[in-house]
Structure 1
Amino acid sequence: MTEGNFVDYVKVHVSSGNGGKGSAHLRREKYVPKGGPDGGDGGRGGHVIVKGNESLWTLLHYKFQRHFKAGHGEHGSKNRSTGADGANVYLEVPLGTVVKETASGKVLVEITEHGQEEIVLEGGLGGRGNWHFKSATNQTPRYAQPGIPGSESDLTLELKVLADVGLVGFPNAGKSTLLSVLTSAKPKIADYPFTTLKPNLGIVQYRDFKSFVMADIPGIIEGAAEGKGLGHYFLRHIERNATLLFLIPADSIDVSREYEILLNELKEYNPELLDKDRLVAISKSDMLDAELREEMGREVGKDLGDVPFLFISSVSQYGLQELKDKLWALLND
């Protein structure tokens, strides 16, 4: 999937159906001149339903169609016949999609399972027919209830990528290169910041035909939690990852300092992100000789404490098998 086809944020306008009118019919037959009221109820208006579909990876199918309208309920008729319910309209979304009210920002539902269905806008109830209103003192009511009108709303669909491992790092840290080496994904790679503007997903093949999903998230800059750079636009994707892989290039001025900045941005955005398993990978390690790696390892190990780290190189593929082993261990701990 190309980057341009990955759509993770759309706004749609939805309308539920009107309820059908109840019938005020009076039974009249050849030998039953005063049969009394027999008007049926109106049908319910159609709901707007969000449904999870594991075959979808993006919200691209809502890029050009933004208006969705459910069917109206049919009116009641004689012989207490209830009108048909209006047709529901289904919005199929990939797993990890959050549905919000655009105006208030209120979260309505989160879709995390295949086949999960959630009503986001209910259809109007059908009106009751006149036979409901008959009584000893009013045996021939000539009135019935009208249906309740449906409602409409503007909704925002946000996709938070569901992946086992999320790559976290500053722009140009080598995240896309690592993803392209470990998986069959073909992210855009170039020697300038913010080459990646949309998340890229890839499947990492492991031993014995096992695999896990890795997501390349656009680079973080200091102040991202306040909206700088791409800000909240990509930080939400990290919420769905089981394990966070911090990627810091070996030519950084201070590896530990960069890690602290990244960690602080995640904490400012959502403190719960710090509860996830973390692994630090020092990329571009092919620039270091064995002595420099050993010296840097001592310093980094002292600063990171209990957080595991290792040296890797996507170009020379140094340490990549060890990286996959550690990630698999974290995911299956």
Structure 2
Amino acid sequence: MTEGNFVDYVKMHVASGNGGKGSAHLHREKYIQKGGPDGGDGGRGGHIIIKGNANLWTLIHLKFKRHIKAGHGAHGSSGRSTGADGEDAIIEVPLGTVVRDTETNDILFEITEDGEEKIVAEGGKGGRGNWHFKSSTNQTPRYAQPGIPLEEKEITLELKVLADVGLVGFPNAGKSTLLSVLTSAKPKIADYEFTTLKPNLGIVKYRDYQSFVMADIPGIIEGAAEGKGLGYYFLRHIERNSILLFLIPADAKDIVEQYNILVDELRRYNPEMLDKERFVVISKSDMLDDELKSEISTILDEDLEADYMFISSVAQQGLTELKDKLWQMLNE
């Protein structure tokens, strides 16, 4: 999936259908001049339904569909015939989609399961026909109920990427390179910061035809939890990952400090993210000789509050061991 095709934020206007009018018909036949009321009910207006689809990875199919309308309910007719219900409008979304009310920014619901359906705007109920209103004192009511009007809403769809492993790190830490080596994904790779502006997903193939999903999240900067850079857009994608894989380059000035800054940004954005399993990889370690690795390991053993591993995506060092470790963590 190319970066331009990854759409994770869509605003739209939705309108359900009007309920159909009830009929005020009075029964008439050749030899029945003054029959009783037989007006049928109006049909229900169509709902606007959000439905989860596990085969979708992005909201790009909704990028240019900013107005969604459901069908109106048909009016009731004679013979107590109920009008047809309006056609529902179904909006299919990838799993991990959050639906918000645009005006209040309140979360209405989240879609996390394939086939899960939620009504975001209910169709109006159909009006009752006049036969409901007949009584001993009013045997020929000449009125019926109108249908209930449609419901309109401005909604925002936000996609939070669902993945087994999320790559977390500062810009230019080597996340995209690692994803490109472990999976068939083709993220943009360059030697400048913020090469990645949208998440990239890749499937890591493991032994015995097993696999797991890895997400390359755009780089975090200090202050992202306060919205610096594109902090909110980046951080919300990390919420849906089972394991957080922290990538810190071997040439960083202070590996422990970088890790602590990243953890602090996650904590300030959402403290619950610290409950996820974490693992640290020191990337670009092909630049280190054995003596330097030993020195860094001594420091990390004392000060780093997480397990770690040295890898090199370019030199293909430690990648098999990394996949083994991640698979073990996912299946514990």
**Which range, TM-score by smaller chain?**
over 0.9
Question: Could you give the per-residue CA deviations for residues 273-309 of structure 1, whole angstroms, max 9, x where no partner exists?
Answer: 000000000000011001110110110121123x210
Aligned partners of 1:106 and 1:91: how far apart in 2?
19
Within 1, Cα distance between the matches of 2:103 and 2:301? Answer: 48
Q: 2:163 is paired with a residue of what secondary structure?
A: coil
Structure-1 residue corresponding to 2:158: 158
Question: Offset of 1:35 from its aligned partner?
Answer: 1.7
In the alignment, is residue 5 of structure 1 matched against residue 5 of structure 2? yes
Distance 2:119 2:307 in 1: 44
CA distance in 1, matches of 2:85, 2:291: 75
CA distance in 1, matches of 2:295, 2:317: 18
Q: Distance in 2 between matches of 1:209 and 1:92?
A: 29
**Alignment length, in residue pairs?**
332
Question: Larger deviation: 26-35 or 313-322?
Answer: 26-35
Letter in 1 for 2:18: N
Distance, in Å, in 2 between the alignment partners of 1:70 and 1:315 is 52
Residue of structure 2 equivalent to 1:183: 183
Is 2:232 the partner of 1:199? no
Q: Which residue of 2 aligns with 1:29?
A: 29
Counterpart of 2:140?
Answer: 140
State the 1:22 CA deviation: 0.3
- Structure 1 length as normaliser, TM-score? 0.99
Number of the residue aligned with 2:255: 255
Q: Shift of the alpha carbon at 1:98? A: 0.7
Aligned to 2:313: 314
Residue 125 of structure 1 aligns to which amino acid in structure 2? K
Counterpart check, 1:328 vs 2:327? yes
Q: Secondary structure at the match of 1:256?
A: helix
Separation in 2, partners of 1:235, 1:247: 15
Determine the C-alpha separation between the residues in 1 that align with 2:269 and 2:127: 48
Shift of 1:178: 0.4
Give per-residue Cα distances to partners, 1:177-202, cap 9 Å, x unaligned.
00000011000000111000000000
Amino acid at match of 1:323: L
Gaps of 5+ in 1: none
Residue 238 in structure 1 maps to residue 238 in structure 2? yes
Residue identity matched to 1:160: K
Residue of structure 2 in register with 1:60 after alignment: 60
How far off its partner does 1:21 sit? 0.2
Aligned-partner SS, 1:242: strand
Distance of 1:215 and 1:35 partners within structure 2 = 70
Question: What letter is aligned with 1:272?
Answer: E
**Alpha-carbon deviation of 1:34?**
2.2
Residue in structure 2 matched with residue 108 of structure 1 by the alignment? 108
What amino acid sits opposite 1:120 in the alignment?
V
AA aligned to 1:328 is W
Q: How far apart, in 2, do the equivalents of 1:184 and 1:147 lie?
A: 54
> In 2, Cα distance between the equivalents of 1:234 and 1:154?
24
Percent identical residues = 75
CA positional deviation for 1:229: 1.3
Q: Measure the CA separation in 1 of the matches of 2:49 and 2:311.
A: 46
SS in structure 1 at match of 2:202: strand
2:125 corresponds in structure 1 to 125
